[in-house]
């Protein structure tokens, strides 16, 4: 596993395309909670993901169906959005979008090259055989890749391998419909493979981020081999799984695995996580959605979390639908302490700009990282993941080199902090990142008592640096 990926800790995931024109979805809630509380059928009928607009508009009676008829008329087609989107790209300036993303402190950027609507966000050499003009003429991915690298970020591409609605499969109303919608023809497997190879040859992405599995018949090991030849430090996610529907009993075995996972204590996590049960021939890192808990498997992993209920931009989302800066900081601390990376999904408007709401969250996160990033970037989990201070503030731990970091997920009320079950060496040095005050410490039994010369200012999280590492 390339060290850059494990060191990066924070990435941004851009979801932008024709669905950004209607930019609408009911803010039903986080998909994981909707599934757990209401079920799959309710999720698709009340889908909070604006990037799924093309599916929701086809489900009679759904909120998206009614909104579409009211806003675009009974004869309004998704094709209208692609034309509007392509026209709007003429005036697009990527500098503003890239500046905000860089300001978040992110170390890598993943851009949606093709979502489930099948629309290509680059001038692909392999054109869609079923939809004429179903791609951009401007090299959107190329400009974003160049800009990201200029800011020192790695660049990756998302590609919906398993779903492409131009090849059929809509409307999707249930989990079974998702599986049935995966194209199974040899022509689609060849099409997806050719587009993946075009992306690799054009942009040399550091990350191949697939979704909803891959079509049966695609030679994935050949694709991966050629990718590593082209990008030796590249990494591949765990959503390239294939389900051979022609093999007797394969669907039943897969369904049994899904049901077992859904009814486990960690089961009701996310729509796409369920499809991670598809047999995967190879993956460099595992993916989970939203909750920040590590996957069942060992090894590098990534938590994918939209800034809101939707990855794509939704005009229905207000301030209370988007995590606060404090919540984002705490999620990043928690994921990092557990050995993962955090991939935050943002949805630009149709013109390619970020809403002030999303921009403020990213820049707020970046401001915190300016003073505390050494506890995040390049860090690894310590022996203990979490504890609680004497006054009830949650603590996460990371380490780097000879230093351990205690990340307090809140601000102590007074000038005393008690870290339980730590044994510092007598000559250990202790400092609080970003603080101009001084602190002293002493050992009392198994606990460390820290005295501050002045109370800490309010912050989403405070980082205590301890060198050399204490004994847990």
Q: 312-341 pLDDT, tens per residue?
A: 999 999 999 999 999 999 999 999 999 999
Element (H, E) at 14: strand 10-14
Biggest CA-to-CA distance, the chain: 76
**Considering the chain, what is the average pLDDT of its residues?**
92
Go through 180-192 and write b for each residue having 16 or more CB atoms within 10 A of its CB, e for each that does not: ebbbeeeebbebb
**Higher per-residue pLDDT: 79 or 281:** 79
Q: Is the confidence at residue 216, as pLDDT, over 70?
A: yes
Q: Is the confidence at residue 407, as pLDDT, over 70?
A: yes
For 383-446, the DSSP string reads EEEEEE-TTS-EEEEEEETTEEEEEESS--SSSEEEE-S-B--TT-EEEETT--S-EEEEEETT
Q: Is the confidence at residue 255, as pLDDT, over 60?
A: no
CATH number of 380-467: 2.60.40.1180
pLDDT score recorded for residue 359: 98
Q: Is the confidence at residue 107, as pLDDT, over 90?
A: yes
pLDDT score recorded for residue 293: 78
pLDDT score recorded for residue 272: 42
- According to DSSP, residue 321 is labeled G
Residue 435 backbone phi and psi in degrees, to 5? -105, 140
CA nearest 461: which of 357, 340, 369? 369
Q: Is the confidence at residue 261, as pLDDT, over 90?
A: no
pLDDT (mean) for 74-86: 96
Q: Is the confidence at residue 405, as pLDDT, over 60?
A: yes
pLDDT (mean) for 117-144: 97
pLDDT score recorded for residue 245: 53
pLDDT score recorded for residue 435: 86
Q: Where does CATH 3.20.20.80 sit in the chain? A: 3-375
Q: What is the pLDDT of residues 49-68, one digit of tens each?
A: 999 999 999 999 999 999 99
Q: What is the assigned CATH class of domain 3-375? A: alpha beta
Q: Where does CATH 2.60.40.1180 sit in the chain? A: 380-467
Q: What is the pLDDT of residues 179-203, one digit of tens each?
A: 889 999 999 999 999 999 999 999 9
pLDDT (mean) for 383-407: 96
pLDDT score recorded for residue 471: 77
- According to DSSP, residue 165 is labeled G
Cα dihedral sign, 225-226-227-231: positive
Strand 10-14 to strand 340-346: parallel, antiparallel, or no bridges (unpaired)?
parallel
pLDDT score recorded for residue 262: 42
Q: 469 with 412: CB under 8 angstroms?
A: no
Rounded-to-integer distance, Cα 56 and Cα 368, Å: 38
Rounded-to-integer distance, Cα 432 and Cα 434, Å: 6
Q: Is the confidence at residue 161, as pLDDT, over 80?
A: yes
pLDDT score recorded for residue 238: 95
For the chain, what percent of residues have pLDDT higher than 90? 84
Q: 237 with 224: CB under 8 angstroms?
A: no
Cβ neighbour number for residue 291 with a 10 Å cutoff: 18
Q: Is the confidence at residue 273, as pLDDT, over 70?
A: no
Rounded-to-integer distance, Cα 460 and Cα 375, Å: 14
pLDDT (mean) for 417-444: 91
Q: Is the confidence at residue 263, as pLDDT, over 50?
A: no
pLDDT score recorded for residue 267: 41
Residue 347 backbone phi and psi in degrees, to 5? -125, 100
CA nearest 308: which of 290, 322, 291, 318? 322
């Amino acid at each position: 596993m390339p060290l850059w990926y494990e060191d990066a800790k924070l990435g941004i995931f851009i979801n932008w395309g024709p669905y950004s024109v209607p930019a609408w979805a009911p803010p039903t809630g986080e998909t994981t909670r909707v599934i757990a509380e209401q079920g799959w059928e309710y999720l698709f009928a009340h889908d909070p993901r604006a990037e799924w607009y093309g599916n929701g508009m086809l489900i009679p009676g759904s909120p998206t169906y009614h909104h579409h008829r009211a806003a675009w008329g009974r004869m309004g087609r998704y094709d209208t959005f692609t034309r509007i989107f392509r026209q709007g790209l003429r005036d697009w300036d990527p500098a503003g979008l890239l500046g905000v993303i860089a300001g978040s402190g992110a170390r890598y950027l993943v851009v949606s090259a093709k979502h489930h609507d099948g629309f290509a966000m680059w001038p692909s050499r392999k054109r869609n055989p079923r939809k004429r003009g179903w791609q951009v003429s401007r090299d959107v991915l190329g400009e974003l890749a160049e800009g990201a690298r200029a800011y020192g970020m790695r660049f990756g591409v998302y590609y919906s391998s398993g779903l492409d609605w131009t090849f059929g499969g809509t409307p999707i109303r249930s989990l079974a419909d998702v599986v049935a919608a995966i194209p199974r023809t040899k022509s689609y497997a060849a099409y997806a493979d050719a587009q993946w190879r075009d992306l690799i040859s054009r942009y040399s992405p550091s990350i191949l981020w697939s979704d909803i599995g891959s079509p049966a018949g695609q030679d994935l090991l050949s694709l991966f081999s050629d990718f590593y030849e082209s990008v030796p430090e590249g990494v591949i996610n765990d959503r390239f799984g294939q389900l051979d529907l022609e093999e007797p009993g394969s669907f039943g075995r897969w369904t049994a695995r899904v049901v077992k996972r859904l009814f486990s204590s960690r089961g009701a996590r996310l729509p796409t996580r369920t499809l991670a049960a598809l047999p995967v021939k190879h993956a460099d890192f595992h993916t989970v959605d939203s909750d920040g808990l590590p996957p069942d498997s060992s090894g590098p992993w990534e938590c994918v979390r939209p800034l809101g209920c939707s990855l794509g931009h939704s005009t229905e989302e207000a301030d209370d639908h988007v995590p606060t800066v404090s919540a984002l900081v705490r999620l990043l601390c928690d994921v990092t302490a557990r050995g993962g990376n955090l991939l935050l999904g943002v949805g630009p408007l149709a013109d390619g700009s970020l809403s002030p709401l999303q921009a403020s969250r990213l820049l707020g996160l970046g401001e915190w990282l300016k003073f505390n990033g050494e506890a995040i970037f390049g860090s690894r989990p310590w022996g203990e993941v979490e504890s609680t201070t004497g006054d009830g503030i949650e603590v996460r731990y990371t380490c780097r080199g000879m230093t351990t970091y205690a990340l307090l997920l809140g601000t102590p009320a007074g000038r005393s902090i008690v870290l339980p079950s730590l044994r510092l060496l007598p000559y250990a040095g202790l400092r609080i990142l970003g603080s101009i005050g001084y602190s002293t410490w002493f050992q009392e039994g198994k606990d460390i008592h820290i005295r501050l010369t002045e109370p800490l200012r309010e912050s989403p999280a405070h980082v205590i640096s301890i060198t050399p590492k204490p004994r847990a």
